[in-house]
Structure 1
Amino acid sequence: MADMSAAIAHIIAGEIAAKPAQVTAAVGLLDEGATVPFIARYRKEVTGGLDDTQLRTLEERLGYLRELEARRASVTQSIDSQGKLTDELAAKLRAASTKAELEDLYLPFKPKRRTKAEIARERGLGPLADAILADRAKEPSALAQSYLKDEVPDVKTALDGARDILVEMFAENADLVGRLRGHLRANARIVAKLVAGKEEAGAKFRDYFDHWEKWANVPSHRALAMLRGRNEEILSLDIEVDWDDTSPVKPVERMIAASVNVGPAGGGPGDAFLRDVARWAWRVKLSLHLTIDLMTAMTEKAEEEAIRVFARNLKDLLLAAPAGSRNTIGLDPGIRTGVKVAVVDGTGKVLETSTIYPFQPRNDLAGASAELAHLIGKHKADLIAIGNGTASRETEKLAADVIARLTGPKPRTVVVSEAGASVYSASALAAAEMPDLDVSLRGAVSIARRLQDPLAELVKIEPKSIGVGQYQHDVDQGRLAKSLDAVVEDAVNAVGVDLNTASAPLLSRISGLGPSLADAIVTHRNTVGAFANRKELLKVARLGPRTYELCAGFLRITGGSEPLDASSVHPEAYGLAKKIISACGRDIRSLMGDSATLKGLNPATFVDERFGLPTVRDILSELEKPARDPRPEFKTATFMEGVNTLSDLKPGMLLEGTVTNVAAFGAFVDVGVHQDGLVHVSALADRFVKDPHEVVKAGDIVKVRVVEVDVQRKRIALSMRKDGGEARPAGGGGGRPQGAPAGRPQGNFAQKPNNDRRAPPPGKGGAGGGDAGGALAAALAEAMKRRGN
């Protein structure tokens, strides 16, 4: 067990650029129930300073490698129980670094249904297969004469049985299968074709009606687009192997034959027979297995990248700048049903709601303007948050006209993404928070609150509904949910929450807590009153010392009996903090924020047996900037006047916009026309950009130039380059990513590869020449369906 743990620690250390001892220490803390945010923030001495990103990767890989070890033990025991575990095989099992390699080794020993090869062995044809392998100079048909009997009436039956045995031998040769898999990954290509008669229904997939590219080069967004087209029965997908090799014996067939020392030509009659068997083994057994393997690997790789992109976008959105505690009016735009209006105070409490009808069919512009002006004046609103759905720009113009006529202080209007607002409005949580409000008005409240504090409001919504993903409904939903939950947890704990005002959904994301304890804290707060200090958390039902240790540092109390409770200093380190304060000869309240005095201290003088330099430096930083918020300063984009719809855009226009989503192929930008435009990765900067996240993130305010507008396909190509180059890609990427904000379907000029038309066109059938095309396509579809795609 210790050897296994050491091996796992060594593997993970290499993957996260750490030392095995650091990994071992972090694993120990995780196994004890510590959370990633707690370890990253308060156990730096133990782990050597591993950050939350490293720890998340460590946690994920730890689960995989432990599953691998458990499977290794199970496989080894199974083979040993059959009396077939040799020293060589045991060494190979120990060396297998992936589940696929392990299963390749286990295949010959895995209990399975009665096969053709097994039937042939029962008929006594195993020695015939061995004889053909042993003596290539003899004619196999002559060797077969000795094995004829009732069950084997003729030479053909005998040779077919020997072939079946040899085919199974090839298919269960782990080394051969591994080499073939490597060959396919390096040389195969994926081919997408339109299903006959689906041109109109599948228009959004037209970039893939006749498309191919090397398997190894397929980016996640194109893979997911093609897979969706296949699942919607618009496209057929196939894997072609050695498509550019015109020799009569394909490389894969040569590799199989070579595993029994048979060359591509020449030799005796036995060699010719074995070459035919190798060809047969590829076509009926190995091509199907390995092609499905490749399709599955492509899907998993694409899903992993899509989940990573979604998680990174979600993190940026959650950590977007808060407007702060200001009276805010939320406007949820609508045409026929009216614009829903909600006024909230600086804490998010609902002060008043209304519905105005400035648009068709009522066209009550005067009444709507009067009501909005009345609410602004009555509640001294500082901000107006406008949802970015249908009629957003028209509602923004209405608000601007009203503000222009005001004589007193003028509120600032901000367009806010309303993705997920309708989901929240209809949720049980919204009903509990606002039982007296109509569902439609709850959306306006959410829009106002998410401007005040995006993090506090967005945690109430299922992450998948927030709308910053790429083909998010096409990926493994379990893995997606796990990844997004981790992002939300890290974001909430990075910021910290006010213990006396935070909602139960926000508290539930704090390290060590969950929905049950969060509800218990809110119930205690409502019954007993506000918490005077962090220690009072121990009075909450079912919240014990261990949970207190995990959560206390992330919960803030402003104006309580202990000034340090307003900081991120953990209660376990209060003694150290007070020692630092005492050394300054100052009162804690006067010292907090005194950067000059604190910077004059030598951190090393406060190190003791329990706390090292990382903790001392964190405490000094917190005293220097108490309760600091890691989120950026609040700012917004200013949309161009008169540009409200797609048809208002003209090539060459310079606009300001907000980045709403970042994908592998570029960034989507809201420029105020209800249709996000795409800045392709090649147009993000005047230099080569490999990853769009190097340049932008969700929520950034950017300057863009309109390159092209396709009104019919609702696509906008934008550029952020300053050199005047357009750098627009050639093709599309299969429609907007799922998860785009409702009412603002996003365009997608995702790049399509430059297929070399000099190469041979895709074949009609399956891998390696197309002999099993229909069966292969059906098997691929069935295998992928079983994965839940």
Structure 2
Amino acid sequence: MLQMSELQRAAEVERRLIERVHAVLCFVRGVTNDDIKHGPVVLDKEHGEGEEDWEREKNATPMLDIPFIARYRQEYWRNEMNEEDLWSVLDHDATWSAILKRRAQLEELFRAVGDDEALTMVGRARSDDELTDMQAFYDLKYIAQAAEREAEAAKGLKRPVRVSRYKTCLDAKLGEMAEAFCIPAGDLAGNYMRWLSSDRPDNPVDETADNRRPVDPDEDPVEMAIKLVPHAELHGFRDAGAVLAGVKYVAAKQVAFDPKLRREVRMRWFKDNGCLTVRHTQKGEESGEVYHLDMLTWREKRHQKVSSEEFLEMVKAKEDGLIDFSIRLDERDHQELLGNLRDCYLLHPRGGGGVSDQAREWDRLRHEVLEEALEKHLYPMLEHGLVAMRIKEAKVFVGRRIKEAMEAMIRVAPYTWRPPQADARPRKARAIMGVHLAAPTEMVVIDEWGEVRDFLSIMVDVRENHRQEMKESDKVKISDFLQKNEPDVIALGGGQLKCRTLKAQLEDVVGRCQTKEYLERKIEVVLVDKNAAYKYAHSQRALSEFPRYPPTRLMAVSIARRLQDPLRELAGLCVDRSEDALSLRLHHLQDKLDRSERTKYIHRAFIDVVRDVGVDINLAADKPQVNQHTVQFVSGLGPRKAQELLQIMRTKGCAYFREQLLEDESVRGLMRRTVWTNAAAFFKMTKNTSMWNDQMSVGTRIDDDDNVVMGGGGPPGEGGGARQGGDCRH
């Protein structure tokens, strides 16, 4: 076998990656493809509910969610892609759909004015930047139609009438003078692109064949401007100098707004060679802030050398008024670009002894047009687009860091303890005692389902001295509380010095109880983060569950539940439209993302973890106050369907296996086949519920972790379901 070159290997990797992305998109969109296994079916939204709908859907193409693809279609994306790439494909697909929608709207605008050339350019647009170029071109060239469209959009609203300087110049007939000595902006772009695509790009631009050249009027610029003054004076142009300034403005605007030229300058110059310069402001000099000081050393620094986090911090500093920044080409690149355009735009770009003074004056005016087009129009617009692109990329970067931080908090297995026997398996905690240091200190014991069994309020004198002894009376009260409830572990909220002192005191009490044989073994005292507990204590969810508990006791409840199952407890922060999850400090730049963006990445963290561990659907229906919050993150469901499904199960009773859910007509009407396909494999069917009846159906059995492992597999047509035994969040 011949060894592949580096270029061939790159092409092969690209081909395989495109195949993977194509397969994922087919799954997501429900597009038929003979090369991939779609599985069951998708619902036609026009169908009604009931058994007939399920029959109608049998021959349809499925639409699969990202969690299902990540779990059960790995052969179509693994190796070339990772799990985060699947979400990126979904995001890019949404972006492309928005581009198609915007492109269709622009096509309608250009079709209405009969501009076939622009219509073709819109049809070839593949990015938001290109569509923005075409929108700006339409607003400039068809300014009357754009004004009518804006007036129609503002119909019924009282707004001031805006008259642009460009329209004023056109009304003063300054555009006619610009047309007399300048070639159209489209011809300038054509000249430049022909030179770039020529076989000899090192040749001077003006020697390229088929170039369009301007024509010098018979009079010099000042004389021509004087003739326009009588009419232009009605529009505010009082002398020849004002007229020439207006003419240059019109010509420069047309050059800067030509979509072909903008694309070439953006892609060949600005995108890669744009240089960032940061300047101090008066507020920044007087402020005591220091996070922006390192940015002041950025002088003509290539923007690509600034990381996404640094760029977003720079934008934040500008919004705070501490700095100002600009992105331009450096002087060498600017002069090179200006020289190339000058050769394409001027009549005599090389000058020479045979050129008349009048011709030199016209070329000087054309040169000033190009400088104004670049400096005052094109560069600022390209800077705005580049900054928007970098901010978008930075937000994606920060969003992924938010997702990683959230996932690190919830991808933690429920607490287990190991018996002293060497061959003993870890056991789940049947009782956990949560402790919150306050005045008074609250101690709460929860059972294996997360429900409160007992509590104790006690005034414990704790100082910032880890050697401090607890009062004997307090030791007795806590010992009696431990003897009564026999918790498997003690969860103490916080990490400050006083909490560490209390931890040492509790460990001493535990040792004392073990010595007196109040406890069968020495239990562990674990420090637990209490940020989520504070949010739970002040939430509507806590008020409805424990209306008479003080906030400090509610925090103890949440601390115990956090150790028992972090995923379950933190999922409660996402109930309904609660913003508790958004207030968690997951990244120092998270405030630069709006609420919907932060919510998206936080929810994706929960979705990914639920995808790996599944959800005990019976327990969620039986103990909804504690266990229902993770169901909304099951693939294909969401908050509304999750609540309706649990309500049906609370009415009908628990399910012994997955297929039993479909025996209920209400479930079939709620979930349909497409939802069932995506969700069913992630339901864990256990007997860990008070609704369970041991008279199970024939053919089912229970494993050591109370999981039903037979009697209903994964999605229809598949063998097996979600991870059944234990928890994979370690």
- Which residue, 275, 278, 291 being the options, matches 1:188? 275
Partner in structure 1 of residue 251 of structure 2: 166
Q: Spell out the pairing of 1:421-500 with structure 2 (5 A cutoff).
A: 421-462=533-574, 463-500=581-618
Contact between 2:434 and 2:556, CA under 8 Å: does it hold in 1? yes
- Which residue, 456, 466, 470 being the options, matches 1:365? 470
Residue 150 (1) aligns with residue 231 (2) = yes
Partner in structure 2 of residue 26 of structure 1: 28
Partner in structure 2 of residue 504 of structure 1: 628
Q: Spell out the pairing of 1:692-771 with structure 2 (5 A cutoff).
A: none
Deviations 1:695-754 (A, max 9, x none): xxxxxxxxxxxxxxxxxxxxxxxxxxxxxxxxxxxxxxxxxxxxxxxxxxxxxxxxxxxx
Q: 1:132–1:528: structure 2 CA closer, same or farther, 3 Å change rule?
A: closer
Contact between 2:434 and 2:445, CA under 8 Å: does it hold in 1? yes
Is there any run of 5+ residues in structure 2 with no aligned partner, and where? 1-13, 32-41, 44-61, 140-145, 148-161, 183-213, 353-359, 417-427, 575-580, 621-626, 688-695
Q: Spell out the pairing of 1:522-561 with structure 2 (5 A cutoff).
A: 522-538=646-662, 539=664, 543-546=670-673, 547-559=675-687, 560-561=696-697
- Which residue, 425, 435, 442 being the options, matches 1:331? 435
Q: Spell out the pairing of 1:184-223 with structure 2 (5 A cutoff).
A: 184-185=270-271, 186-191=273-278, 193=280, 195-196=282-283, 199=286, 201-203=288-290, 205-208=292-295, 213-223=301-311
* Partner SS state of residue 420, structure 1: helix
AA aligned to 2:222 is: S
Residue 96 (1) aligns with residue 200 (2) = no
Contact between 2:20 and 2:77, CA under 8 Å: does it hold in 1? no
Deviations 1:277-313 (A, max 9, x none): 2222334333433333333233222211100111122
Q: Bigger shift: 112-121 or 418-427?
A: 112-121
Distance 2:437 2:406 in 1: 24
- Which residue, 205, 229, 237 being the options, matches 2:317? 229
Contact between 2:277 and 2:325, CA under 8 Å: does it hold in 1? yes
Q: Calculate the aligned-residue CA RMSD, in Å.
A: 3.7
Contact between 2:530 and 2:559, CA under 8 Å: does it hold in 1? yes
AA aligned to 2:596 is: G
Deviations 1:249-288 (A, max 9, x none): 7556546645625898857322221222222233433343
| CA drift at 1:460 | 0.7
Q: How many residues align?
A: 571
- Which residue, 385, 388, 396 being the options, matches 1:304? 396
Q: Spell out the pairing of 1:388-407 with structure 2 (5 A cutoff).
A: 388-390=494-496, 391-406=498-513, 407=515
Partner in structure 2 of residue 346 of structure 1: 448
| CA drift at 1:426 | 1.6
| CA drift at 1:58 | 2.5
Distance 1:262 1:483 in 2: 56
Partner in structure 1 of residue 170 of structure 2: 121
Contact between 2:657 and 2:711, CA under 8 Å: does it hold in 1? no
Distance 1:295 1:282 in 2: 17
Partner in structure 2 of residue 380 of structure 1: 486
AA aligned to 1:217 is: K
AA aligned to 2:489 is: L
Residue 320 (1) aligns with residue 320 (2) = no
Contact between 1:126 and 1:162, CA under 8 Å: does it hold in 2? yes
Distance 2:95 2:398 in 1: 19
Percent of residue pairs bearing the same amino acid type: 22
| CA drift at 1:454 | 1.2
Partner in structure 2 of residue 631 of structure 1: 729
Q: Which structure: larger Rg?
A: 2
AA aligned to 1:298 is: R
Q: Spell out the pairing of 1:30-69 with structure 2 (5 A cutoff).
A: 34-42=64-72, 53-69=84-100
Contact between 1:459 and 1:488, CA under 8 Å: does it hold in 2? yes
Q: 1:262–1:495: structure 2 CA closer, same or farther, 3 Å change rule?
A: farther
Partner in structure 1 of residue 157 of structure 2: none
| CA drift at 1:347 | 2.1
What's the TM-score, normalizing by structure 1? 0.64
* Partner SS state of residue 161, structure 1: helix
Partner in structure 1 of residue 9 of structure 2: none
Distance 2:307 2:541 in 1: 39
Q: 1:288–1:434: structure 2 CA closer, same or farther, 3 Å change rule?
A: same
AA aligned to 1:166 is: A
* Partner SS state of residue 655, structure 2: coil
- Which residue, 112, 120, 128 being the options, matches 1:81? 112
Distance 1:344 1:467 in 2: 28
Contact between 1:315 and 1:491, CA under 8 Å: does it hold in 2? yes
Distance 1:300 1:358 in 2: 51
Residue 563 (1) aligns with residue 700 (2) = yes
AA aligned to 1:431 is: L
| CA drift at 1:99 | 0.9
| CA drift at 1:14 | 8.0
Distance 1:128 1:14 in 2: 56
| CA drift at 1:165 | 1.4
What's the TM-score, normalizing by structure 2? 0.69
| CA drift at 1:219 | 1.8
AA aligned to 1:284 is: K
- Which residue, 215, 224, 231 being the options, matches 1:135? 215
Distance 1:105 1:520 in 2: 47
Distance 1:379 1:226 in 2: 55
* Partner SS state of residue 365, structure 1: coil
Q: 1:530–1:437: structure 2 CA closer, same or farther, 3 Å change rule?
A: farther
| CA drift at 1:469 | 2.7
AA aligned to 2:603 is: D
Distance 1:70 1:398 in 2: 65
AA aligned to 1:37 is: P
AA aligned to 1:159 is: L
Distance 2:19 2:458 in 1: 57
Q: 1:263–1:27: structure 2 CA closer, same or farther, 3 Å change rule?
A: farther
Deviations 1:353-411 (A, max 9, x none): 23344346999931544443333332222212222354432332333333343424111
Q: Bigger shift: 101-110 or 368-377?
A: 368-377
Deviations 1:451-497 (A, max 9, x none): 12111111111432343234112213222212322221232132111
Partner in structure 1 of residue 384 of structure 2: 292
Partner in structure 2 of residue 241 of structure 1: 328
Contact between 1:422 and 1:443, CA under 8 Å: does it hold in 2? yes
Q: 1:512–1:252: structure 2 CA closer, same or farther, 3 Å change rule?
A: same
AA aligned to 1:513 is: L
Deviations 1:78-134 (A, max 9, x none): 012112222xx3443233221111111231212256433333333333332122222
Q: 1:410–1:252: structure 2 CA closer, same or farther, 3 Å change rule?
A: farther
AA aligned to 1:532 is: Y
Q: 1:13–1:331: structure 2 CA closer, same or farther, 3 Å change rule?
A: farther
Contact between 1:187 and 1:241, CA under 8 Å: does it hold in 2? yes
Deviations 1:414-473 (A, max 9, x none): 222223221122222222333342222122111111112111111111432343234112
Contact between 1:511 and 1:550, CA under 8 Å: does it hold in 2? yes
Contact between 2:173 and 2:232, CA under 8 Å: does it hold in 1? no
Q: 1:201–1:70: structure 2 CA closer, same or farther, 3 Å change rule?
A: same
| CA drift at 1:18 | 0.9
